[in-house]
Structure 1
């Protein structure tokens, strides 16, 4: 099977590309190498994929021709997006990267006789400040990120409802692990601990509850859609762990594994940040046999080991 993975030089996209390759599939990988964070980190991921026989092409879904890209693919896994909740990003950046880019990809697929199956990668931010709901409950996004990711998801599902393609959407919960973006909690925390730097902690965030989910458990859920395409068509799935931990607990685990106390500086809270995420995965368990197993201690030890090997050796 030929699989197109967008955003393949990113955190979760690169892990997913490797998994499909390991399963024996042909992987077509693209990324626009956005400078939202250090491009060298994406280039590092692309280099890692290249050593595995996966070449990441530089392509921007917002502007570049897409007809040839999608013409003979069997499946598309669509990660490419403007990620996260950031005051430095404009609404236009979220709109063009998340909605317009997705629409251009769908438009390129529409005239094909044999259309690829479309797996849209969404986020628990769609649910809003308290992401504890089932997939059939009304979402209440509270950030531009959540609003535009919901828009992208509904575009894909609209195509499915109209019979223009087969596809589904997966909403991911608080993913962490090796290659995590530098603006995310654990990469920043681990870097501060290992370099003896001050960690900036958003005011009140230590009380936030999260379904911190290790990246390989997320990839397990994505690839489980293979051979279940029909029952997944038009559906939404939450992918994450049912285990909840506060940010304070996550910080304590990192400090325990590093054997040191990390100095912290309180900074203003982020508008639209979620107070609680708790993945309800009953549907994914039932239809995908989804069963995340990695504990927070296990996953964070792997992320610490990766950080040491990648940046301190």
Structure 2
């Protein structure tokens, strides 16, 4: 199978590319290699993918004609859209970046899929779409009409846009709500990366909401395994869908949304303790109030995902944190 992955030099995209290639598939990668964080890290991720059966385009999905030309030329059977402007807090500082990448860019992906008869579009959504909803665990069958950041709003918009194309053009679309992904090659703006760096350097770590946070931390290998199992399972209409009692997670159209989370939320302080234990260094903690756009807890209901692909994310925090720190020390050549 030939799979086109946008954001292929990104955190999840590079792991997924390597998984697909190791299983004998062809991968076409697109990434704009922007400077939201270290370009050299993205370049190193891209190099780690290798060259056999991997074709890479340095391109921006917000450039519509270019995306369409690549899809038309490469003729993939499946498109996995992982390219996006990420980060809740940065969306408060630079909202336009989110419109360009997450709205304009996703429109271009949808149009390229429509114009080229793509058999399945998988795209990254986010647990942030649950916003002000406090009913735990978060279910794809819950209402998500109250986002707390522009980032979350763009991800909800992606789901609505995908449904429109599934309905109008019969394109099977599968949206994946990722829950706090972490692991080797992770992004420097994410908590595990920042905490590890600062603890090693004896610098304080900022702990929001005074540490009273819970996150459904999900190891990247579990995310990738779930995507891999879904690739050849295009979304199908739900024959029991009823417009008088509409289910947000399914549709009369070939459209599905799934949570991908560990289904086991962990207190932030326990997460920090796992980092301290692995490094054998105590963190200098700077407790701070809740930040705008944040939510106090995330917790994924993954029953729909389990029924579809017989898989539940299961990597423990200890194992996942250990693997990340081993990678971090090796990549930055740090000898503790």
TM range (shorter): over 0.9
Correspondence 1:172 to 2:142: no
Is 1:228 the counterpart of 2:222 in the alignment? Answer: no
* Distance (Å, rounded) in 1 between the aligned partners of 2:93 and 2:71: 29
The 3-state SS of whatever aligns with 1:291 is coil
Aligned residues: 311
Match of 2:50, SS state, is helix
Equivalent position to 1:135, from 140, 144, 164: 140
C-alpha spacing 1:86/1:56, structure 2 compared with 1 (3 Å):
farther
Tell me, in whole angstroms, the C-alpha distance in 2 between the residues paired with 1:117 and 1:228: 8
Cα deviation, residue 168, structure 1: 1.1
| CA gap 1:230/1:268 in 2 versus in 1, 3 angstroms | closer
* Bigger Cα displacement from structure 2, 194-203 vs 254-263: 194-203
Equivalent-residue separation in structure 1 for 2:235 and 2:108 (angstroms):
24
Moved more, 187-196 or 265-274: 265-274
Match among 214, 217, 221 for residue 216 of structure 1: 221
In the TM superposition, what is the alpha-carbon distance from 1:19 to its structure 2 partner? 0.8
> 1:161: which partner in 2?
167
TM-score, normalised by the number of residues in structure 1:
0.94
Distance 1:200 1:52, change over 3 A: farther
Following TM superposition, by how much is the alpha carbon of 1:274 offset from its aligned partner in structure 2, in angstroms?
1.7
- Show the counterpart of 1:105: 109
How far the C-alpha of 1:293 sits from its partner, in A, is 1.8
CA distance, structure 2, for counterparts of residue 213 and residue 50 of structure 1: 26
**How much is the aligned-residue C-alpha RMSD, in angstroms?**
1.8
**Superimposed CA distance per residue, residues 256-281 of structure 1 (whole angstroms, 9 cap, x where no aligned partner):** 11112011223554211121100100
Q: TM-score, normalised by structure 2?
A: 0.88
**Aligned with 2:300 (options 275, 279, 283):** 279
Report what 2:269 is aligned to: 248
Which residue matches 2:19? 19
* Contact in 2 for aligned 1:27/1:54 (Cα 8 Å): yes
Deviation at 1:116, TM superposition (A): 3.5
Per-residue CA distance 1:149-180 (angstroms, 9 max, x = gap): 11112111211122341121111101110011
Query: What is residue 62 of structure 1 aligned with on the other side?
Result: 62
Q: Helix, strand or coil: the match of 1:37?
A: coil
Q: Render the CA deviation track for 1:166-202: whole Å, top value 9, x for unaligned.
A: 1211111011100111010101111122232222223
Q: Is the 8 A contact 1:50 1:56 kept in 2?
A: no
Contact 1:132 1:276 in 2 (8 A): no
Measure how far apart 1:52 and its partner are: 6.1
Deviation at 1:85, TM superposition (A): 1.1
Q: How far apart in 2 are the matches of 1:236 and 1:160?
A: 12
Q: Does 2:282 correspond to 1:261?
A: yes
Distance 2:51 2:196 in 1: 27
Q: Deviation of residue 221 (structure 1)?
A: 0.9
Change (3 A) 1:69 1:210: same
Any stretches of 5+ residues in structure 2 without a counterpart?
238-253
Q: Deviations over 1:127-147 (max 9, x none)?
A: 114473211211121111000
Tell me the residue number matched to 1:182: 188
Looking at structure 1, the residues matched to 41 and 89 of structure 2 have their Cα atoms a distance apart, in angstroms, of 19
SS in 2 for 1:171: strand
Q: What is the deviation of 1:243? A: 0.9
Shift in Å at residue 311 of structure 1? Answer: 0.7
